[in-house]
Amino acid sequence: MLLRSATMAFTVTAPAAVVGGTAYRGVMYESDEELAALDALLARSRAGASAHLRAIVSDDRAPDAAEVVRMTSTMRTLAVATVTARGEPRVSALDGHFLHGSWTFGTEAHSVKAGHLAHRPAVSVAWIDGETFGLFAHGSARRLEPGDGWFEELVEHWTRYYGDPPDSLGEVVFYRLEPTWMVAFRGASDASAG
């Protein structure tokens, strides 16, 4: 059990979400308040999206926060886009962990990606599971530091998940996406997953 603050819910094993015949099961960290905030962000983002996107992510294909959390309750390989000093986009894959209603991820402290984020924290993040499920977000990547209320919990989570502390991989820096926009998509054949 992890306890980050008095408002945080304890960890529980998430019920399996079945998509395309695959059961996804992991740990949920979200409090009721975090689920409500995620629901509000998903609704606000979808309402403000283009007509084209709203036609694709129709009401029956728009998962709520609880389904998003079930689908992201284990490590997901993310496509993370950063921006160079010349304004050129760069995308790479990172291990993503959805904790407390948003993505967290890490990278080597001296990587090009870490350099981009140090100077330009704007980021786009996507997890796509074929045509069955997708979660797309834009926002800022906030670097996590010891004592900030997030860092220690993330290190504990990664250690539990990977079996070794993150610093055994070298000098790793962690980020939390502070999303300003997030849209989730469920494939038509999986409308009963939620």
Looking at residue 46, its amino acid is R
pLDDT tens digits for range 94-129: 999 999 999 999 999 999 999 999 999 999 999 999
Mean pLDDT of 131-158: 95
pLDDT tens digits for range 54-76: 999 999 999 999 999 999 988 99
pLDDT tens digits for range 76-90: 999 999 999 999 999
User: What pLDDT, on a 0 to 100 scale, did the predictor assign at position 45?
Assistant: 98
pTM of the model: 0.82
pLDDT tens digits for range 20-45: 444 444 567 788 999 999 999 999 99
Instruction: Please report the sign of the dihedral spanned by the C-alpha atoms of residue 35, residue 144, residue 182, residue 158.
Output: negative
Mean pLDDT of 134-159: 95
Mean pLDDT of 135-164: 94
Closest alpha carbon to 145 in 173, 177, 171, 186: 173
Domain ranges in the chain are: 12-193
Q: Does domain 12-193 have CATH number 2.30.110.10?
A: yes
DSSP sequence for 94-152: EEEEEETTEEEEEEETTSHHHHHHHH--EEEEEEEETTTEEEEEEEEEEEE-TTSSSHH
- SS3 for 68? helix
